[in-house]
Chain A
């Protein structure tokens, strides 16, 4: 029986680790934050929330942080939870990213970012088109020329489902270059890593993925990044041209940011925004950010809302054209 009691103690400890720590309602000055993560441990949302939380805690900007993983329904479960318990969630921030826009457009969940209080975007990863080191393609223009000649000769792989982010970005680029995005053959993989393996094995010739995900192998000379969807070239990769440089007017940022419960008092929301702003100047944040290859993208409040509306418009029109929404 000794062992069973031991097991029980461990399990209770595990449960205690997982349980959310209650947060108090401090107005104005933020001392602690409870983060809700709509996905499981180890994912992108998880990394962002825990990274931000760690930077805030280590730099002394916050006294306490707690985290709650709540996966299900492609993030819809957590969204629903935050909205339905809004009154007691004043100390809570929900981490999210571009998929919230895509999924509310396709009707995966009925809510959208408008049902929450946008706090700020924090970081971004730009999309990139990647080829193997020995690929015949040297520039984005060559791909577009081939596509216009024979769309079936250009197959693009990616780590999201059809109609997901990795599909929409090349579709937008093709449209911007004057091609027909409906003719694009998109090869879906169930994760970015598997899609990268597909590129390396010669399954696909071109990969649409996050810039951060491709950077590691690009630095080691295994793959080449042909174009990035940022506005200007990035300081950490000055040799990678932007899509805009090819005369295609497409930019795309897969942002990650935070939302508060609906009806959050403006003063409280502003306190969160100020807190996050302060974080950027701390060495603790810089260390975490540079290690993970994140790009800072701080857009507070109204600026964030405008950005989200624009992104929703761009993604929405692309999805309509591809027939994913009516």
Chain B
């Protein structure tokens, strides 16, 4: 197996080093990060737009280009999240939670630099894992059954406390419930019945996640810039955001180093699962990081924590590389973007699957090696540009607000080409604005929404498979393992405060437990 890997890597390196392919990696990364930076435009749009360009290219070259566009878009997606709180795609929503406050505090350069380093590390770590373990990981991807996915979604929900923000836990929980409710709109898969569509054609397919994210994050942000007339929402002084603020100190690197390592591993494994994806990877990395942080550090989350920024960025980049495992080794797309890429692979006459390693090694290994190169390119490409991007915040708000509104609405429209979506965004935006003014946090809503659909479908599938019995919750070892982890995470704060109290004999930690 190892011999095969090394000869494969050599094939990959020689494929990648063809000048044409290097040029395509560079071009793909550049286009991807450029499109990804636009709010509302994410990898799926970027890849779909690039497919016509790949016609007529050699299969390996074409796939190298598309992959570059894909991870380039995820890399670039963090920029709009951090600078204007407008995530370009679902996987960078969690990035905005700490990235945007950090930028608003006058450190846009530092926030972007940390995001770039975290993305680079996440991407590189996962490419190495992909290279070494890809064939083995295919069996991980096929070991998760509906029951396990259900348990995994419950585990994901425990991250909710991480997103509580200012409003406290009760408000966060209420927003999760609202998110779960919104997830039920549309055709119910298990019975084929329409739910909460009010007889309207438009709601038949449910609500698009990105639409909800853009409406609750970007649009409300634009509106609150208008409402808040204080300095905190005003454009920043261009002199303040120069090259200096880009610097990340050694101490800070030490702080985010372990975070990036953990989040990359977690993100990668979530990405490998065809039923999860990069969005879940970033949310869970964020939740895990907050749960691991000390009570004092936890307070910083949501207010510009460096760890809170690095975790989802490493997580989503690692997950996007991880999603190549089911795509290449099984021909199973885990997300909309990889589904589009599967279409491109098939159009090239390449059959993804266990045999792709031997049937078209130049595509398989060329792709993996090019991703390594691509991550380096992205870092080199993006770091020098950060000061210029950061200046975006110096744009006066009377230009900024209409721009955010325009790009956000356009971005969503360009995915579905459905004018009803714009109307729906406006409605959600108004509702979200009201909730925001009452200090309800928006992130738990999105978490509930994204987990809700997956949770329900997987639970009902598992119930059908186990003849309406809940026994799978403890009978399947993998499900049981995930459930025990969930239980441990829920009890961990209690345990910690119990131990702390035994040590100090005081009850000063009680408040942290509640929060």
Q: Which residues of A contact B (CB under 8 A)?
A: 1-4, 7, 10-11, 14-15, 17-18, 40-42, 47, 54, 68-74, 76-77, 80, 106, 108-109, 152, 155, 161-164, 185, 187-191, 193-194, 196-198, 200-204, 216-217, 219-220, 222, 288, 291-293, 324
Contacts and interface: CB of A to CB of B under 8 A. Distances in A.
A10 B457 contact: no
Nearest to B344: A42
A155 B462 CA distance: 12
A185 to B, nearest CB: 6
A193 to B, nearest CB: 5
Contact of A74 (B34, B204, B275): B204
Contact of A161 (B34, B189, B326, B336): B189
A4 B395 contact: yes
A69 B187 contact: no
B205 A72 contact: yes
B202 A72 contact: yes
Contacts of B205: 71-74
Contacts of B353: 216-217, 219-220, 222
A54 B331 CA distance: 25
Contact of A164 (B48, B141, B192): B192
A197 B38 contact: no
Interface in B197-249: 201-202, 204-205
Nearest to B359: A220
Contacts of B275: 194, 197
Contacts, number: 168
B92 interface: no
B376 interface: no
A42 B343 contact: yes
A191 to B, nearest CB: 7
B475 interface: no
B414 interface: yes
Contact of B418 (A2, A72, A190): A72
Contact of A71 (B35, B188, B416): B416
A42 B202 contact: no
B461 A188 contact: yes
A189 B461 contact: yes
B348 interface: yes
Contact of B420 (A11, A72, A185, A204): A72
B333 A69 contact: no
Nearest to B410: A11
B340 interface: yes
Given A108-B201, A203-B145, A69 B417 contact: yes
B78 interface: no
7 contacts: A42-B339, A161-B192, A196-B331, A216-B353, A219-B351, A291-B348, A292-B346
Contacts of A69: 416-417
By Cβ-Cβ distance, the 3 closest A-B pairs, closest first, are A73-B201, A163-B192, A42-B340
A194 B253 CA distance: 39
Contacts of A73: 201-202, 204-205
A197 B141 contact: yes
A14 B49 contact: yes
Given A194-B274, A216-B331, A220-B351, A42 B201 contact: no
Given A7-B407, A11-B410, 19 more contacts: A7-B38, A11-B407, A17-B49, A41-B340, A42-B44, A73-B205, A76-B201, A161-B189, A187-B465, A190-B189, A193-B334, A197-B141, A197-B330, A198-B461, A203-B461, A216-B351, A219-B355, A220-B351, A291-B348
B415 interface: yes
Nearest to A213: B331
A14 B407 CA distance: 12
Contacts of B274: 193-194, 197
A241 B117 CA distance: 55
A216 B352 contact: yes
A10 B377 CA distance: 21
B407 to A, nearest CB: 7
B388 A155 contact: no
B392 interface: yes
Contacts of A108: 201, 204
A54 B54 CA distance: 14
A293 B461 CA distance: 30
A150 to B, nearest CB: 11
Given A17-B49, A108-B204, A42 B336 contact: yes
B48 A41 contact: yes
Nearest to A69: B417
B347 A292 contact: yes
B288 to A, nearest CB: 24
Contacts of B294: none
Nearest to B188: A161
B38 A10 contact: yes
Contacts of A164: 192
A288 B45 CA distance: 23
Contacts of A41: 44-45, 48, 340
Contacts of A291: 346-349
Nearest to B38: A7
B417 A10 contact: no
Interface string B397-411: 000000100010010
B27 interface: no
A194 B351 CA distance: 17
B146 interface: yes
A190 to B, nearest CB: 6
Contacts of B174: none
Interface string B177-201: 0000000000111111000000001
Contact of B189 (A7, A42, A188): A188
Contacts of A204: 465
Interface in B414-468: 414-418, 420-421, 457, 461, 464-465, 467
Contacts of B395: 1, 4
Contacts of B420: 72, 77
Contacts of B457: 188-190
A201 B403 CA distance: 46
A293 B342 CA distance: 14
A108 B204 CA distance: 8
Interface string B15-38: 000000000000000000011011
Contacts of B389: 3
A155 B464 contact: yes
A162 B143 contact: no
Contact of A196 (B332, B407, B461): B332
Q: Which of B342, B392, B407, B464: most chain A Cβ within 10 A? A: B464
Nearest to B273: A197
A155 B330 CA distance: 23
B313 to A, nearest CB: 21
Nearest to B200: A73
B23 to A, nearest CB: 20
B503 to A, nearest CB: 45
Nearest to A217: B353
Contacts of A74: 187, 201, 204-205
B485 interface: no
A4 B394 CA distance: 12
A190 B188 CA distance: 10
Contacts of A193: 274, 331-334, 339, 342
B145 to A, nearest CB: 4
B354 interface: yes
A185 B410 contact: no
Contacts of A2: 388
